[in-house]
A and B are shown apart, each in its own frame.
Chain A
């Protein structure tokens, strides 16, 4: 990848943009960075009440299970959303200065990943303490997180570039958020579904393999929360998906990058 080398010269810009994105998000708010954790904790509390007590989910340590799934969701879906908006919200840079545009979505997604990292910092010791499986699969966790991050970068690049030309993209993503969240195994696992659901194997298959976030969530829940090795099929799927996504993202972005300054 020769085209990656000139990017190194822009490492300071990347760092600056990441810092700015993180600080900008909570600038002038009294609780500041604490919001990164208050948000998911509130969601976890509500879902915990609904699905543990009202629907009676059989999963042990259900709140922590939710929190782990939510961390992956924040990393991937949150990254997609901020990535999609990133070029437009930094239009003043794009139209005035020459630098590799790819830095903007990459920095926005990285800043979002910082929030997911804060969640991981809380989830990791609790998982180690509470999980009943083995610790060995934790070795795979860093690799899986990188795979999730790479996938998000790839998808975010596509969305960021396309959103410059069709501003509907960010609204579509916002509209998809809640339904997509429900269709992703975050507050349930496929193995703990009620018996009635097991008859719809085809549907579950579609939900499982048609949604690349689903296998990602499953793999990370397995290694971090359940202490088991993730299913090989899921692991291979996410690795291939993220490699494909980052290549597609790079190509699409490079093609659409040239005329961006005109469209903003």
Chain B
């Protein structure tokens, strides 16, 4: 069926040659003595992606996400198992996507279109849309080598998004480009999904995963660890990131592991049943204490009140976060910490109750903090997190498992990162010399001057 992808017990191996010998002579002379070890980048992966579904592959670096996309794209063949993909596939893997540096943007668009199986007139019909989308009208007839990496990325995405594939594969694409272009990519992806396209993408951007995908697949050690809704899978991924040592999937060393005997033959014929369900992973309590002296019971954004509106805010909006804490130990001195991070996981706001509100109540029972802050950020995804700490030891007692995502919408008329009150005054030169008081305010933005 068009747009459907099935991976059936797929395994993929890489050989890591310890002494790289590329020349004919060395290979002939040494024959089989070239030392290599095997790495199973994908281990018995069974996945069924329905037509029109949006699936995110998440996982740590080296987990096998990109290999999985390359296998889906048909660029790498599996060493065991089978891959079936219905319909046309457009893949955007890594930067550049096969642009030739000496040719102009326009020539490369035609080349790229042809790579995706489009005829010349199909590309011609879409050329203007692609150029407009990439915002490269002035540069389209210049060689691609003169483009910045952001411009190349924009062009590559524009082509991939306009070839109307049945299946679109994206690898870490959304982290490139400025906020405005990212928002445009998001729109385009939503448009693609609304028209029934199937999307599989690799991303570290948890907010992108939440907003785009209905399904997230956590890969570790080449295996599917959890397969479920983003809200279900992302917290487990977070846990995995913190618990850096070891992995969940890589429990068997590569030297020992081999694909199941029944599917070791790549020419394996597909059966109708869906294969075994993925291994379920129970979240490890990890670094959090088992019986903390305080736990966070609730965290929500109370202003703006509408739960839908919480995810989209105008630039500069004020947000009120309420955190309810239950205390179990009247001796513990507590401190609440609110952080706001952007899509690159940079902290853009960190505030502690100990600095701002003094000591928190210690009585058994609990308390609720309401924290109000404005976010003078122009555009992009933000995450709000709440942590409760023991102030004397600094130990983290509890953390709200899901950070609350917010999307700042561009309402500010200027450019840059900050959306702060700005006042412009314009005076005739003669008046400015005589008159110190500001003249006519041409444009004013913000609540307070």
Residues of A within 8 A of B73 (CB): 97-98
- A261: chain B residues at CB < 8 Å are 70, 75-76
* B91→A12 contact, CB < 8 A: no
B24 contacts chain A at the CB level, 8 A cutoff: yes
Q: Which range contains the number of A residues in contact with the other chain?
A: 20 to 34
- The size bracket of the interface on B is 20 to 34
- Interface contact A259-B102, CB-CB below 8 Å: no
Residue contact A166 to B97, C-beta cutoff 8 Å: no
* Contact among A12, A96, A98 with B119 in the assembled complex (CB-CB below 8 Å): A12
Instruction: Evaluate contact between A96 and B23: CB separation under 8 angstroms.
Output: no
Stretch at the interface among A20-28, A34-42, A153-161, A243-251: A20-28
Chain A min CB distance to B85 (Å): 9
Q: Is the CB of B118 within 8 A of A12?
A: yes
Interface string of B23-37 (1 = CB under 8 A from A): 111010000000000
Given A259-B77, A261-B76, A262-B14, A13:B23 Cβ within 8 A: no
> Is there contact, CB below 8 Å, between A16 and B110?
yes
The 0/1 profile, CB within 8 Å of B marked 1, for residues 69-106 of chain A is: 00000000000000000000010111111110000000
Residues of chain B in range 353-372 having any CB-CB distance to chain A below 8 Å: none
Chain B residues within 8 Å of A10, by CB = 114, 117
Residues of A within 8 A of B111 (CB): 16-17, 20
Q: Is the CB of A24 within 8 A of B91?
A: no
Instruction: Say yes or no: B120 contacts A96, CB within 8 Å.
Output: no
Q: List 23 A-B contacts (CB under 8 A).
A: A10-B114, A10-B117, A12-B117, A12-B120, A20-B103, A20-B111, A24-B100, A24-B102, A27-B102, A28-B102, A92-B97, A96-B91, A96-B93, A96-B97, A97-B91, A97-B98, A98-B74, A98-B75, A98-B89, A166-B23, A166-B24, A261-B76, A262-B14
The chain A residues found within 8 Å of chain B, CB to CB, are 9-10, 12-13, 15-17, 20, 23-24, 27-28, 90, 92-99, 166-169, 172, 258-259, 261-262
B-side residues, CB < 8 A to A, are 14, 22-25, 27, 70, 73-77, 89, 91, 93-94, 96-100, 102-103, 107, 110-111, 114-120
With A24-B103, A97-B115 given, can you name 15 additional A-B contacts, CB distance below 8 Å? A10-B114, A12-B119, A13-B114, A15-B114, A16-B114, A17-B111, A28-B102, A92-B96, A96-B96, A96-B98, A97-B97, A97-B98, A97-B116, A166-B24, A167-B22
